[in-house]
Amino acid sequence: MTLHCFDSAIFSNAWSTPELRALLDEKTRIKGWLEIMGILADVQARYHLIPQNIATLLRETCESLPIDDALLEEARIGFETSNHSLLGLIRAVQSRCPADVGEWLCFGVTVQDITDTQTARTLKQVRYRLLSLLEDNCALLARLIADHHETILCGRTHGQPGLPISFAYKAAIWLDECQRHQQRLKEIGPRLEVGQLCGGVGSLSSLGAEALNLQKDFCQRLGLETPSISWINSRDRLAEWMTVLAMITATCDRIGHEIYNLQRPEIGELREGFVEGTVGSITMPQKRNPEISEHLGTLSRIVRYAANQMLENLVHDHERDGRAWKAEWVILPEACLASDKALSLLRVLLDKLEVNTQRMADNLAATNGFILAEAVMLKLAPMLGKQTAHQLVYNLCICAQKEGISLREALLTDETVGQTMSPEDITTCFDYHANIGQCQAMSERVVKLQTDNKRSIS
């Protein structure tokens, strides 16, 4: 029986990708645990904690052991009998070891040594995948910027037209934010990808006089950083990771929400690319819904709430607290799956995005010139003073809107304006391209950063 959308035979691909499900699958996780147990035995033998021949047999068993239904069932029964997270699996593996070799399995270590280390290894792979997806999305945003440097639309504040901007500028803000997420994912690596080998309370008391060297070798064998001190009750690494995921998916949501709003027929400036066969409604045949944009919001909410729960888990009792630690087993996989899916969906959304430049121009024209009121005010300010000019233009806008005339018409008939501005001066205020400020320069600066980043990586 399937209880979760992430595992649903019908819906799973709407909530996650096959690639990440395979990485976070239970059998993959158990395989990782067994690999760690085998490497641990090898390293312990080097430091004479267990016999070398025993270590070799343990590693060979852990590497070759099939993770089949029989093993899983035995591990389940062992867990339910002992109520211990890993003892059921350890006993199941022990029963498959030759002779008494299994007696040495996980010698002197604790559950979190195995599970935290596997979590760090898994998140390392997730981080690389998310970096790759972000790179794809950044490239698509750079393409949008290049295609729409000359595309002008309404810049809106509080949901209302404010000033003209370029669409390249809007996309460049998205790109700039994604670039910072790339930086965050790169910077978090050394803090996140840290092994755990510390024993019951973190003191390494069971690992001998050379425990710190043993720990270092163990982590290096697994491609992880060595902790400066045990972190079984210090979960800030994972809280930072979850916060970064929340920020990344919130950006996906923000972009999707903007497209969701601009796809409204009464605005009609952007639209999700149509896929043949997509149905918006089983009762309203005409519907073409912004399904991807909407679903980005759903996925982002899952991650944001998971990040909030992870922050709760920072508060631990003493040297170990199962209440906080075990909650990670639920929220970490969900957050990773949802984040991966969000970035994958964003890639589709940006790649197929339809930009209606004519509708953008029509919506600008529909403002009757009022969107350029700032330019008029700034033109009048040197002669009248800024506050006086603001009040004058404000009054003209109110009157013109009541009379149903354009701002240009109102200016041309106003006596005060006529004394300070010629008709030609007034006309120069109504050039949209001349009133987008530094949109183009800032967009180019962001694209240059993207190009520089790609060069530094290559």
- Which of 149, 158, 205, 234 is catalytic? The answer is 158
Tokens of 444: 């180019």
Backbone angles phi, psi at 154, to 5 degrees: -70, 125
148 counts as catalytic: no
- CA–CA gap between residue 48 and residue 64 (Å, rounded): 24
**Can you list the pairs that 269-277 forms with residues at least 24 positions away whose Cβ atoms lie under 8 Å?**
269/153, 269/355, 269/356, 269/359, 269/360, 269/363, 270/353, 270/354, 270/355, 270/356, 271/353, 271/354, 271/356, 272/349, 272/352, 272/353, 272/354, 273/349, 273/351, 273/352, 273/353, 273/354, 275/352
Contacts of 140 (CB under 8 A, 6+ apart): 347, 350, 351
HEC readout, 84-138: CCCHHHHHHHHCCCCCCHHHHCCCCCCHHHHHHHHHHHHHHHHHHHHHHHHHHHH
Residue burial 179-190, b: 16+ Cβ < 10 Å; e: rest = bebbebbeebee
* Helix residue ranges per DSSP H, 222-353: 236-262, 291-312, 322-351
The DSSP call for residue 225 is B
Question: What is the amino acid identity at position 286?
Answer: Q
Q: Could you say which of 4, 64, 281, 433 is catalytic?
A: 281
> Is 158 tagged catalytic?
yes
Which 3 state secondary structure label does DSSP give 208? coil
Q: Which residues are catalytic?
A: 158, 281
